Amino acid sequence: MSLSRRDFARQSAISSAGVVLAGSVGALASAPHALAATETDVADAGTVNEAGESADRHHGVGYGPLLPDPKGLLALPAGFSYRVITHSGKTRLESGEITPSNHDGTAAFAGPRGTTLLVNNHELKGPRADWTYPVPLTEGLVYDPAASGGCTVVEVSPDGHVAEWVGIAGTSTNCAGGSTPWGTWLTCEENSDRAGVNGMTKDHGYVFEVDPSDRRANRNPKPLKFFGRYNHEAVVIDPKRGDAYLTEDAASPNGLLYRWTAPQHCHHGHGNFRTLSDTAGTLQAPKCFDSGGRFVDDLSRATKIGTVYGVDWVDVPDRDARTVEVRKQFGAGEITRARKLEGMWWGDGGAYLVSSYARAESPVQHDGQVWFYDPKRRTLTLKVLLGVNPDPSADGAFDGPDNITVSPYGGLVIAEDGEGVQHLFGATDSGRTYPIARNELNIGTEAAPEYSEFTGVTFSPDGRTLYANIQTPGIMLAITGPWKRQRR
């Protein structure tokens, strides 16, 4: 059922609902699920004061300053510690082969006998010869033997023992991905090379399902073509309605958020996606409008935290992009775009999703947005907004959010993929940000330091351990400490 502009405008005027909906002038911080601070906007978000502190922080939020690491790897607040779980070039799989490089999206699942199972994407693009440590071509788990990417499964035992094996191989540029309500992992290809391009022997740009608990279920990988063929980033599944939401990281033109609606009588669960046809369900892109019924062409137009847009959904004409890329099948005025649509996570009855930054290719520049899609109200609400960081090399402000997770202690935890210094940082329910970790591994030179992005941020099932990756060279870390509920 479509949410008409008239319906949305009528909703916006109902003050008794306890929320004011607005197009570009902000919303009350008391809006449902709001990570809002209504006084924060593009002009001052992400700025740094004279003491070098982010203007988004306030007393009582977070865990205090980050302390330098004598080992030169990870700065953490006092009382916190980390452990290296896997390290490309140093640790090995059960098969004896080296852990693949370029760690990306990750999710944690409860395993047998108190273990934690982590499925870890490896964002490796192009031919295998281009990489020192591609994902090994384990028999029966290979989609395209020419491709270098895939994902591994990492088992962490209560006694600290770590085991790792291949979940899928022969895929390309496996990026954010996402977990399912039934305990599997959806690994997404952020690359849509056709067979014959860059040495590939099969078409790419698909989503694949990996079961961390059942190795046999991963044999003979099958692309889930009903999700479409494009540069996939992340995916979440609505556990109540069964819909999937997917992000696309692309430009010229900017990428899209997608919704896949399952066909009638479709039952989700282990192995059921494999039974669906390539055209099962309906793939759609969003068309947003503000409270005045005005069409919104790009999400960067929102310059106030709390901005709320109504969403209609428009069918994708050709989801497999046989002749025209999916995002290019729509003309001006037909759909709403956004730059660098990246990580997603399901929580609070909806989908949190990231637009990592916007530059000249977008109507308005910013250094990061986090939106919340409410499927019941059919609205997108801007929760976190980072203004353009004036000095990414300075430690203080944050920029370029990427992978994201909902914290069991309130708010969000976000992996930074920006310029200069790289952090894990939190965002509270009131929209305030605070540091959790800083990458201190310099992969550049002393004169020109370079720090890899954080990826794969996810909590263990019991909420006690925060797992995260440093993408290059590929290091999975387990962070523990005095976690606490964050103040509003």
Identify the pLDDT of residue 105.
98
The predicted pLDDT at position 488 comes to: 60
For the chain, report the end-to-end CA distance as a whole number of angstroms: 35
**What pLDDT does 393 receive?**
86
Q: What is the pLDDT of residue 395?
A: 86
What is the model's pLDDT at position 486?
85
Distance CA 176, CA 106 (A): 7
How many Å is the maximal CA-CA distance in the chain?
63
Name 434's bridge partners: 426
Per-residue pLDDT of the chain (488 residues; tens, 9 = 90+): 455 544 555 555 433 333 333 332 222 222 233 333 323 333 344 434 333 444 444 457 899 999 999 999 999 999 999 999 999 999 999 999 999 999 999 999 999 999 999 999 999 999 999 999 999 999 999 999 999 999 999 999 999 999 999 999 999 999 999 999 999 999 999 999 999 999 999 999 999 999 999 999 999 999 999 999 999 999 999 999 999 999 999 999 999 999 999 998 888 999 999 999 999 999 999 999 999 999 999 999 999 999 999 999 999 999 999 999 999 999 999 999 999 999 999 999 999 999 999 999 999 999 999 999 999 999 999 999 999 999 888 888 899 999 999 999 999 999 999 999 999 999 987 778 999 999 999 999 999 999 999 999 999 999 999 999 999 999 999 999 999 998 76
Q: Tell the residue number behind the tokens 């909420």, with chain if given.
A: 463
**Strands annotated E in 18-122:** 66-67, 74-77, 81-87, 103-110, 116-122
The DSSP secondary structure of 371-438, one letter per residue, reads EEEETTTTEEEEEEE-PPPS-TTSSSS---EEEEEE-TTSSEEEEE-SSSS-EEEEE-TTS-EEEEEE
* Beta pairing class for 401-406 and 379-385: unpaired
As beta bridge partners, residue 353 has 344, 371
Q: Give the H/E segment covering residue 5.
A: helix 5-12
Domain boundaries, the chain: 31-90+393-488
Tokens matching residue 143: 């989609």
Model pTM? 0.89
Question: pLDDT tens digits for 286-309?
Answer: 999 999 999 999 999 999 999 999
- Token pair for residue 214? 């059942």
| Confidence (pLDDT) at 428 | 87
Q: Is the peptide bond before 317 cis (omega within 30 degrees of 0)?
A: no
